[in-house]
Structure 1
Amino acid sequence: MNRKGRSASKKQSLGFFQCTNKIFLTDEATGQQIKEFARKNAANALSIANMVMGMASILSSLQGHHHAACWLVLIGYLLDLADGAVARRLGACSALGAKLDDFADFTTFGIATALLLRTTDLMDNILCVCYVLSVFVRLCFYTSGVPFMYRGLPCIYSSGILASASLLSGGNLPMLRIIAVAMILFMISQSFYPHDRVLESQAWKKAVYAGGVAMVFCSSFPPACVYYLLWSVSYILFPTSLWSNKV
């Protein structure tokens, strides 16, 4: 092969390697971008999943599927406890994430939970509206100004109590009305409650959460409802001694 042929061959080989290197670098950069996108939006995905559970619960209530509506709220309960922990773990806290979390909470623990009380009776509908408004007030205006503390009962626990009690009682309306009024008063109260970072605290709290996940697969059995009821009631009765954020 003459010199010109060897030179052309070298140029072609060099061009091939440069092209291959560019493709490899592009694929690597794309992979990094995908990983970064996943890191930043993992918690947002959990918040959106919580919102979807709330919307599905609303539709179930409107169609008369009471059992499914209650369990969808309880699944939202687990997702809400996870999204903040995931955001802090991945260093992905953001204003958008906070807004998504509030929207999801309002959907699942406000509207969807209130519809568990809905009947054709006017007073029950008024109670539903009052419950939704109390969740709205709790989410919008009850910042405590004290680190790691809430002012007013977090709406997730009032929803957990209502959904569990509704399942255990078969939708006993007189009892649910009393519980709903009590939960409204707890949510708009001036009492302080600890920030319960369940997945970032003691091992037994993580075990409680894991038990809650397991109970989802036992949704046909009353003990599963009792589990969520005791979990939620314990936060109201022993907020500081049990649920303060002690690592």
Structure 2
Amino acid sequence: MLNEDGTKLRVDRRRHHHAACWLVLIGYLLDLADGAVARRLGACSALGAKLDDFADFTTFGIATSLLLRTSDLLDNVLCVCYVLSVFVRLCFFTSGIPFMYRGLPCIYSSGILASASLLSGGNLAMLRVIAVAMILFMISQSFYPHDRVLESQAWKKAVYVGGVAMVFCSSFPPACVYYLLWSVSYILFPTSLWSNKV
């Protein structure tokens, strides 16, 4: 039963939003691992690549856009634009250059939105600005490296292990800052830090 002021509804919504952000961050880790595991097991296939794109679209497109959803029409338009930008990014990411993407990979835009949402307590004004910036990065013609984190330098593997530890062992503010810095570093220093070097 709801209180007159709808307090219970707000608390439930906050809990669901909090859980959704953490699920996006867990998806972040799983997405970085699935390709490495498939290649290690020799289980790569055309169907697997299509399913991976579908999983990315669901997690980093639809699920992430729902973090922005409210009853306001403009917020819903922003959600649709975010989903469409992820769709465009996934359909046209080929750059013609080996191990390079065109446009920001949607995993990093989702990591930034989920981390910022947790750190700000779901501040919608800030999330709207970040979402618009991420849309522009995803549909840009900039080049970003294919960051095979688990198949690259040891320090990148350590960053990944740190991400896993943060999810399971850390209190939530340090973990959110960790994922935020990780994602922002990919945008600011894509080739100097995150190019695929074994």
Q: TM-score, normalization: structure 1?
A: 0.73
CA RMSD of aligned residues (A): 1.4
Cα 1:174/1:219, change in 2 over 3 Å: farther
Instruction: Provide Cα deviations, 1:19-42, integer angstroms capped at 9, x if missing partner.
Output: xxxxxxxxxxxxxxxxxxxxxxxx
1:154 aligns to what? 105
Residue 176 of structure 1 pairs with residue 127 of structure 2: yes
For the pair shown, which has the larger CA radius of gyration, 1 or 2?
1
What is aligned with 1:23?
Answer: none
User: SS of the residue aligned with 1:193?
Assistant: strand
Which residue of the other structure, out of 151, 161, 169, is the alignment partner of 1:200?
151
Of 203, 211, 219 in structure 1, the residue corresponding to residue 162 of structure 2 is 211
Work out the CA distance in 1 between the residues paired with 2:167 and 2:98. Answer: 32
**Aligned: 1:75 with 2:26:** yes
Asked which structure has the greater RCO (Cα within 8 Å, sep 6+), the reply is 2
The number of residues matched between the two structures is 187
Distance 1:63 1:96, change over 3 A: farther
Deviation at 1:62, TM superposition (A): 7.9
Among 114, 122, 126, the residue aligned to 1:163: 114
Indicate the residue corresponding to 1:244 in structure 2: 195
Matches within 5 A, 1:128-147: 128-147=79-98
Q: Distance in 2 between matches of 1:202 and 1:132?
A: 32
1:86 counterpart residue number: 37
**Moved segments of 4+, more than 2 Å:** 61-64, 218-221
1:227 aligns with 2:178: yes
1:218–1:224 CA contact under 8 A, matched in 2 = no
The answer to whether structure 1 residue 113 and structure 2 residue 43 are counterparts is no
- Which amino acid counterpart does residue 177 of structure 2 have in structure 1? V
- Match of 2:193, SS state, is helix
Please state how far the C-alpha of 1:105 moved relative to its aligned partner.
0.2
> Unpaired runs of 5+ in structure 2?
1-11
Identity within the alignment, % = 93
SS of corresponding position for 2:51? helix
Q: Contact 1:219 / 1:225 at 8 angstroms: preserved in 2?
A: no
Return the structure number with greater helix share.
Answer: 1
Q: Could you tell me which of 118, 142, 157 is aligned with 1:191?
A: 142
Pairwise CA distance, 1:143: 1.2
> Are the counterparts in 2 of residues 196 and 245 from structure 1 also a CA contact under 8 Å?
yes
Q: What's the offset of the Cα at 1:118?
A: 0.5
Who is 1:28 aligned against?
none
SS at match of 2:30: helix
CA distance in 2, matches of 1:131, 1:81: 21
Structure 1: which 5+ runs fail to align?
A: 1-60
- Maintained 8 Å contact 1:151/1:190: yes
- 1:66 has 2:17 as partner: yes
The one-letter amino acid of 2:178's match is Y
Residues 218-242 of structure 1 deviation map (CA, whole Å, 9 limit, x = unaligned): 4642001000000000000000000
1:89, CA displacement in angstroms?
1.3
Q: Matches of residues 13-92 of structure 1 in structure 2 within 5 Å?
A: 65-92=16-43
Once residues 99 and 185 of structure 1 are traced to their aligned partners in structure 2, the CA distance between those partners, rounded to angstroms, is 25
Q: CA deviation at 1:67?
A: 0.6
C-alpha distance in structure 2 between counterparts of 1:209 and 1:228, whole Å: 10
* Aligned amino acid, residue 84 of structure 1: G
Indicate how the Cα distance of structure 1 residues 219 and 113 shifts in structure 2: closer, same or farther if over 3 A, else same: farther
